[in-house]
Amino acid sequence: MNAADVLRTSPAALQAIRGCPDPGLPPEPESETLRAAVAAQLAVEQNAVRVGPGSAALLHAMIARQGPHGGGIVCSAGSWPPYRQNAADYLLNTRTIPLGDGYRHDLTAIALACSDRTRLVLLDSPHSAAGTTVPLDEVVDVAARLGPDTAVVLDNAYGDYQDDDLTAAISNAVNSRARILVTRTFSKAHQLFGLRVGYVVAHPDVMRTHGPLVGRYDVNRLGQVAAAASLTDPSTVAANRSIIRRRRIAVTDLLTAAGVTVAPSQGHVVLFTAAEAYKTAALLRQAQLSANVLTEPGLAGHLSLRIDDTGLDSLCAAFASVHHQL
């Protein structure tokens, strides 16, 4: 594999792990150092940041917190399946709204679907299956139209792979007291998946009513020091972002050349559909990409191709084989 096409963990993070004198020592109980580093990067107060064992756990905790209140959640078709699974576990109803034009969240339809019993609107942006995004200012506008008991969660797990930088937008939204919560992770562009570190950002007032309840010592010592060190090394994250962008562009171009309609992804997947979509998927599976091709039950007639765990050379070779057989 081309060395320039390999996703890497920050050398600073690896050095921080090696420099930890004793992994058995207790971590900071509230991840204070890491929270301070995230808050400084986003220009928000430290109380606007909570850290937990991965963004998945934080999303779960936010849904669980709303369980005693009853009501439900609203999300889009094809969104990350645990939204609905976790809501069902806590006896919350789920309303699923079809994607709108360009495979994007239909924010107007989502707002109309909310009632006074809706607790959370969950928006994965980039979308889990399509990779499409929604502007944060439009999310803020939707939150302002909803009742006081409803908050909007922007699941920005793959946000580092977007072309646009959301740092200023997140800062402005949080500091303006918008009723939104933004979740992010160190698992993707920071390549610290195995250490399980994520965070949520929201105005402290919103955090008090809708934020996840996290326990002391939830994030282990190695995860804390590695994540804090990785924040000091933006060049590695930028390099990983560039790798995903190159793969995304190449796959989009190859599918388009084969006559397949492709969603405008900004994430780690490329969603596609056409008369030849299922034949293309079968051929991709034959070309050693079986784990990458995902059927999307919430998006009938579509398939999603993951590009974050296969190198560009392998992806291009697979598509060369596919094109030869189409």
pLDDT tens digits, one per residue of 45-83: 999 999 999 999 999 999 999 988 889 999 999 999 999
DSSP code of 212? Answer: P
**pLDDT over 60 at 39, yes or no:** yes
In Å, how far from its chain's centre is CA 239? Answer: 18
* DSSP β-bridge partners for residue 267: none
Q: Which of 68, 170, 60, 168 is nearest to 125 (CA)?
A: 170
Question: Cis ω on the peptide bond leading into residue 126 (within 30° of 0)?
Answer: yes
- pTM of the predicted protein model: 0.92
Q: What Cα–Cα distance (Å) separates residue 233 from each residue in 13, 17, 63, 110, 211?
A: 8, 15, 33, 38, 28
Q: Dihedral of the CA atoms 184, 185, 190, 194 (nearest 10)?
A: 180
Cα 219-231-202 angle, rounded to 5 deg: 65
Q: Sketch the domain layout of the chain as residue ranges.
A: 22-230, 235-325
* Percent of the chain scoring above 70 in pLDDT: 90
**Are 265 and 126 a contacting pair, CB within 8 Å?**
yes
Tell me the per-residue pLDDT of 142-190, one tens digit each, with 9 for 90 and over.
999 999 999 999 999 999 999 999 999 999 999 999 999 999 999 999 9
Tell me the per-residue pLDDT of 5-23, one tens digit each, with 9 for 90 and over.
899 999 999 999 999 888 7
* Token pair of 38 as six digits: 């995230």
Give the C-alpha separation, 156 to 292, whole Å. 21
Give CATH for domain 22-230: 3.40.640.10
Write b or e for each residue in 285-319: b if 16 or more Cβ atoms lie within 10 A of its Cβ, otherwise e.
eebebeebbbebebbeebbbbbbbebbbebbeebb
Q: Which fold has domain 235-325?
A: Aspartate Aminotransferase, domain 1 (3.90.1150)
Give the C-alpha separation, 301 to 18, whole Å. 48
Give the C-alpha separation, 149 to 155, whole Å. 19
pLDDT grade for 259, boundaries at 50, 70 and 90: confident
The percent of the chain in helix, strand and coil, each rounded to the nearest 5, is 45, 15, 40
